[in-house]
Amino acid sequence: MSDAANGLILGIDPGLAGTGFALLSGSSLVLSCSTLVTRPGRDGARLLAITRHLRELLADHPPSEASLEELFMGRNTSSAIGVAQARGAILAVLEECGVPVFEYKPSQVKMVLTGYGNADKAQIARMLGAQVKVPEGRVDAHAMDAIAIAVCHARSRKLSQVAR
């Protein structure tokens, strides 16, 4: 049976400098998580690194669905532009590979995980630690966000199936 048939969810926290990835099985087992950190320099080279890494990940562990955080426009517009570029590259690869994509606002992810749409990163990390089995070792903020996005999708999907 292929990974796609097993219902793997790929959570992605897009960013030009660092992109978090998490593979979730079911709604609480994190199979792997990582952060791809790109070297400062030409944006095109950074985007190419992200797309290459994503293609390798999809080839090794094809998910049945992917979930991404929607673009949040804060005060730092230059970092939002980099995130938008990374999201565009990621969305193109997922489309090319036929992976259905689901997008969530940061407040939706926080609400699903903590019951509070304005939760901070520490609250989210505590809730994830109590609810999800994460592989041993250090998990940085980008990978933690990718896990949160994948868990949000898994739980949102279950809720929509119950509502039918």
Helix pair angle (77-96, 43-60), 10° resolution: 40
13 annotated active-site: yes
Active-site pick, 3, 43, 70, 140: 140
Active site residue 69: yes
Look up residue 5 and give its two tokens: 């048939």
Find all residues with CB under 8 Å of 4, minimum gap 6, and list them. 62, 63, 64
Backbone angles phi, psi at 135, to 5 degrees: -55, 150
| Cα 84 to Cα 90: distance, rounded to the nearest angstrom | 10
Is residue 140 annotated as part of the catalytic site, yes or no?
yes
The active-site residue out of 3, 13, 120, 145 is 13
Catalytic residue among 56, 69, 120, 145: 69
Which residues does the annotation mark as catalytic? Answer: 13, 69, 140
